[in-house]
Amino acid sequence: MHPLVERLRGTLLPAVVTPMDQDGVVAYDALSAYAVTLTKQAIGGVAVWAHTGRGLYLSPGDRAKVLETWRTATDVPIVAGVGIPRDRSAQTLQEAADATVEMARAAAAGGADAVMVYPLAALGELEDGHAQAVALHERVAAESGLPLVGFYLHGEAGGYPYSPALIRDLLSLDAMLGVKTATLDRAIGCQDAIWAGRGTGKLLITGEDRMYGPSFMWGADTALVGIASAQVELSAAVLRAWTAGAHSEFLAASERLDRFAAATFYAPIEGYVQRMLWAAEWEGLVPAAAAYDPYGPSLPPSERELVIRCLEELH
């Protein structure tokens, strides 16, 4: 078993935001300050280049500099999301796999400790998609030299439902640390995915911002979530109480987390990144000039007001 499994088990890894201006220019001074502040909190690692950080939208140079900034700021494990960059044309599955592997190699070169592999949604429609998905993970591990996190991502974010059999086969790979579920609102799919990993010894990672507390009750033992990019303690308190068996504290902490999740994770789901940035701004984690998500939908002022009102009530 890879030593990172036990190092990360029971910990929280925020899927961090990338501070940008309204034109999509990364604000590196703001990023440096954010990284220093966030890594002083109760976390076991961070996830960069993930959906929350718009990793697939960044240029190769910006991805490298974002990773360098986090690597300079902390010695906690860094997991980098790898997939098909939005500026990279991938007409075939081979090209898609090549792009994913190339991004994983860049993560390794930049000092990442592990990679989280974005699913190739097209594989979900193929008769041999299961075998191809396993082969992709094997290739990423072999060519990057890094351990992996599998990623069951809901379709609205470009993924597809991993079957329990696929999850078990992925977790059987020596390089695999665990599988993260991000099923959005599909409770049965989340349950089945977590249950498929029981008994493997690998990490059962929740990415379920809207089913955060329940996912621990279903067996998740580690968290990698976008909601922690702006609310570390709100997220950590739930995991800490569950791990300690403090069930009344867990229920109270989970209720608080759920209130914030309801104010930030709803249709249009792609808007959650901007809502996290508003929350990070309110918390003083990023300045207003760097709290933009130029890649998401345009949101009305009322949504910002909802996020702020929720935070004011929670504090």
Residues facing residue 149 across a β-bridge: 116, 178
d(CA 272, CA 254): 19
pLDDT of res. 5: 96
Geometric angle at alpha carbon 86, from 180 and 82, rounded to 5°:
35
**What's the full length of the chain, in residues?**
315
Q: Angle, to 10 degrees, between the axis of helix 272-282 and the axis of helix 301-314?
A: 50
CA distances from 122 to 14, 28, 118, 158, 267 (A): 28, 35, 12, 10, 24
d(CA 227, CA 279): 10
d(CA 274, CA 30): 16
Contact (Cβ atoms closer than 8 angstroms) between residue 256 and residue 310: no
pLDDT of res. 64: 97
pLDDT (tens, 9 = 90+) of the chain, 315 residues, equals 889 999 999 999 999 999 999 999 999 999 999 999 999 999 999 999 999 999 999 999 999 999 999 999 999 999 999 999 987 766 788 998 999 999 999 999 999 999 999 988 888 888 888 999 999 999 999 999 999 999 887 777 677 889 999 999 999 999 999 999 999 889 999 999 999 999 999 999 999 999 999 999 999 999 999 999 999 999 999 999 999 999 999 999 999 999 999 999 999 999 999 999 999 999 999 999 999 999 999 999 999 999 999 999 998
* The two three-digit tokens of residue 208, written as one number: 């379920």
Looking at residue 144, its amino acid is S
Identify the DSSP state of 172. Answer: T
pLDDT of res. 43: 96
d(CA 152, CA 87): 23
Contact (Cβ atoms closer than 8 angstroms) between residue 153 and residue 181: no
Geometric angle at alpha carbon 185, from 184 and 191, rounded to 5°:
95
pLDDT of res. 90: 67
Instruction: Name residue, tokens 């961090």.
Output: 16
Identify the DSSP state of 161. Answer: P
d(CA 67, CA 125): 33
Phi/psi zone of residue 219: left (φ > 0), alpha (ψ -120 to 50 degrees), beta? left
Contact (Cβ atoms closer than 8 angstroms) between residue 121 and residue 160: yes
Looking at residue 16, its amino acid is V
pTM of the shown model: 0.95
* The two three-digit tokens of residue 83, written as one number: 């997939």
d(CA 157, CA 154): 6
* The two three-digit tokens of residue 307, written as one number: 């996020």
Q: Where are the beta strands (DSSP E) in 23-106?
A: 46-48, 78-82
Identify the DSSP state of 163. Answer: P
